[in-house]
Structure 1
Amino acid sequence: MSTPRTPRTPRPPRPPRTQHTAPPLAIAYSPCPNDTFVFHAWAHGLVPGAPPLDVTFADIDVTNGLAERGADCPYDVLKVSYAQLPYVLDEFALLPCGGALGRGCGPLVLTREPGQAASLSGRTVAVPSERSTAYLLFRLWAAEAVPGGVGEIVVLPFHAIMPAVRDGTVDAGLVIHEARFTYPAYGLHQLADLGEHWERTTGLPIPLGAIIARRSLGAARLAELADAARASVRMAWDDPAASRAYVLEHAQEMDPAVADQHIGLYVNEFTADLGDAGYAAVRGLLTRAAAEGLVPALPPGALRLPE
């Protein structure tokens, strides 16, 4: 005779996973390898607990202009130039991670022929944005190095600047990003390294691109976004191959080796967290620029996230 089995106690149902039910956050950043590398994990829903993103790719001159629209800006989070911060911090807060700041990564001034800084006097110079950090560094440098000042400033998308210099459309070009590695292929010459000039004269790292988020999201939400950006950076470092296809898909036919150099230069410890040195660099740049009348002065404490 068989022994009756003891009935099993039913298992309690598993609690549902915590999910964000709010609409995705609208974010705009560039298709450059450093941005796609940094945001790959977050944009693809791989960061646990992070709010979903609705991603738009846009050149830095476009995102700078969008941020300046303030409450009318259609995005919650944007990548902008650090030079743009004094114009937008009423509406947007600086996130302490996800951006580009470092050493040996500053913009270059390029010409068709070797020359001296004085040769730019009265000349036409192409720049990626009049509100870019690159242009702010250029203005601070030119005030010392170019007697009488440069001539006309022409704004071009950064990928169009080197061809314009090569073809003689402009006399010089201010370039950023992977142009540091590729300008010799255009037969161009480096007239000045503005990052080297900044580091030598200040001892500070170079602030380039910032991640900002709408203040109306609230302090808790802003802290959550900072955590998500930081986690996305660390996940990219832990598994670089995971973002490879995404990076190259948006890298505008960039050589994969150049994309790797780009990421290695612009994604560093300051991308994970600005820290004291990073904040000092941003304050140093914007305070000096304000003293020269180039940007509005920053209110005290404006760079830190609200508590």
Structure 2
Amino acid sequence: MNTCSTNTATPLTLGFSPCPNDTFIFHALIHGLVDAAGLRFTERLEDVETLNRLALDRALDVSKVSYHLMGRILPDYVLLRSGGALGRGCGPLLVARADLDPSRLAGKKIALPGRYTTAALLLRLYDPTLTDFVYLPFHEIMGAVADGSVDAGVIIHESRFTYASYGLTQLLDLGAWWEADTGHPIPLGGIAAKRSLGGETLRAIEDALTESVRHAFAHPALPHPYIRAHSQEMSEAVCDAHIKLYVNDFSLTLGSEGEQAVQYLLQRATAAGIIPPSSEPLFTPR
């Protein structure tokens, strides 16, 4: 656990995953390499669904969460425009042992990487008739599909680079489906911060995150030891591919295209009855 900055104020709790894209993004912020306006952060690294549940419990001041979850935590959290994962060609994949028809999965047992992940939301939007879900940590899904514990699974993160080694077949690219169906890039996960921190602090965190991403882009070798310390079971090639896939200009700032994509995802989820309606503003006040 690290604390950045030298300010004596109580540090803010900051949650993100040990995945290479997150450790790449947060390295400069955690290590005090960018101006954080005197704010300090205590890091907590957990898998995405654990972070989602911590945010549901309002246990973290700032946290990476699935965009799906934002629809459930809007009374307490606001979405920052920087530090997230959103793009094209980077969506979750539905895989199986055999080449099944993805439109005929009713009655099949499907593993999902957490109830509140965007991957789970996308599959439910793709086919609302599917109901037989098993929720597993993302790194256990390929094994469960391979050994027949489930009929199919939705994989995320670095699994999209390694599923073939398990003898699995891609049935559907949920990100490609989303892009073709909506025209929007696929929103995966973003950074949520407690509304109670106030506008000035929220803007300072957002700006510091932007600078942290910019610092990583400018000095890509510098975060490497920190990234590898949290991804020891991942090959260097997969680690680099992971960062290249999930960190892009949207990570610097969502911009109007990214904001519209997130808003539309939540609108679709609300219309489908998957998340409750909310009148709370979604984004950090500017």
Who is 2:105 aligned against? 120
Residues 204-223 of structure 1 deviation map (CA, whole Å, 9 limit, x = unaligned)? 00000010111111100000
> Is 1:303 the counterpart of 2:270 in the alignment?
no
Aligned 8 A contact 1:287 1:298 in 2: no
Percent pairwise identity: 49
Q: Which amino acid aligns with 1:233?
A: V
Instruction: State the distance in 2 between where 1:133 and 1:297 align.
Output: 17
Equivalent in 93, 118, 142 of residue 133 of structure 1:
118
Instruction: State the distance in 2 between where 1:101 and 1:195 align.
Output: 10
Equivalent in 4, 13, 16 of residue 29 of structure 1:
16
Who is 1:254 aligned against? 234
Q: 1:289: how far off? A: 1.4
Q: Which amino acid aligns with 1:54?
A: T
Who is 1:172 aligned against? 152
Under a length normalisation based on structure 1, what TM-score does the superposition of the two structures give?
Answer: 0.89
Residues 219-244 of structure 1 deviation map (CA, whole Å, 9 limit, x = unaligned)? 00000000110000000000010000
Aligned to 1:163, the other structure's residue is in SS state: helix
Between Structure 1 and Structure 2, how many residues are aligned?
Answer: 281
Aligned 8 A contact 1:102 1:205 in 2: yes
Who is 2:57 aligned against? 69
Aligned to 2:69, the other structure's residue is in SS state: helix
Aligned 8 A contact 1:42 1:52 in 2: no
Q: Which amino acid aligns with 1:82?
A: Y
Structure 1 44/60 Cα, relative in aligned 2: closer, same or farther at 3 Å?
A: same
Instruction: State the distance in 1 between where 2:269 and 2:133 align.
Output: 18
Aligned to 1:241, the other structure's residue is in SS state: coil
Residues 91-113 of structure 1 deviation map (CA, whole Å, 9 limit, x = unaligned)? 11111000100000000000011
Who is 1:153 aligned against? 133
Who is 2:95 aligned against? 110
Q: Which amino acid aligns with 2:207?
A: D
Matches within 5 A, 1:197-208: 197-208=177-188
Equivalent in 26, 40, 43 of residue 52 of structure 1:
40
Q: Which amino acid aligns with 2:56?
A: E
Residues 161-210 of structure 1 deviation map (CA, whole Å, 9 limit, x = unaligned)? 00110111111111111111111111100010000000001100000001
Structure 2 stretches lacking a partner, 5+ long:
none
Instruction: State the distance in 2 between where 1:53 and 1:118 align.
Output: 45
Aligned 8 A contact 2:36 2:204 in 1: no
Instruction: State the distance in 2 between where 1:299 and 1:274 align.
Output: 21
Q: 1:119: how far off? A: 4.0
> Is 1:39 the counterpart of 2:29 in the alignment?
no
Aligned 8 A contact 1:82 1:208 in 2: yes
Instruction: Report which stretch shifted further, 105-114 or 149-158.
Output: 149-158
Q: 1:132: how far off? A: 0.9
Instruction: State the distance in 2 between where 1:23 and 1:47 align.
Output: 19
Who is 2:257 aligned against? 277
Matches within 5 A, 1:177-196: 177-196=157-176
Structure 1 stretches lacking a partner, 5+ long:
1-17, 144-148
Runs of 4+ in 1 over 3 A off after TM superposition: none
